[in-house]
Amino acid sequence: MSLEQELKLARESGQLDALINTIPYARMIGVKGQLVGDEALFLLPANKDNIGNPILPAIHGGVIGGFMETAAAIHLMLFMDQPKVPAIIDFSLDYLRSAQLKDTFAECRLHRQGRRVANVSITAWQSHRDVPVATGRVHFRI
Distance CA 94, CA 138 (A): 12
Confidence of residue 1 (pLDDT cuts 50, 70, 90): confident
Confidence of residue 53 (pLDDT cuts 50, 70, 90): confident
Which domain covers residue 67, as residue numbers?
Answer: 3-141
pTM value? 0.91
Do you know the residue count of the chain?
Answer: 142
CATH value at residue 75: 3.10.129.10
Q: Is 64:99 a contact under the CB 8 Å cutoff?
A: yes
Residue 98's pLDDT is 93
Tens digit of each residue's pLDDT (9 = 90 or more) over 60-86: 999 999 999 999 999 999 888 778 889
| Of 27, 21, 15, 28, nearest in space to 1 by CA | 21
Average per-residue pLDDT for the chain: 91
Q: Is 120 exposed, middle or buried (0-12, 13-18, 19+ CB in 10 A)?
A: buried
Beginning with the edge strand found earlier in the chain, give each strand of the sheet holding 132-141 in spatial order. Answer: 32-36, 39-44, 104-113, 117-125, 132-141, 87-95
How many domains are there within the chain? Answer: 1
The SS3 assignment for 119 reads strand
Distance CA 63, CA 52 (A): 9
Tens digit of each residue's pLDDT (9 = 90 or more) over 2-41: 878 888 888 888 888 888 888 899 999 999 999 888 889 9
- The contacts found for 27-30 with CB under 8 angstroms, 24 or more apart, are 29/63, 29/66, 29/67
Does position 96 have pLDDT exceeding 90, yes or no?
Answer: yes
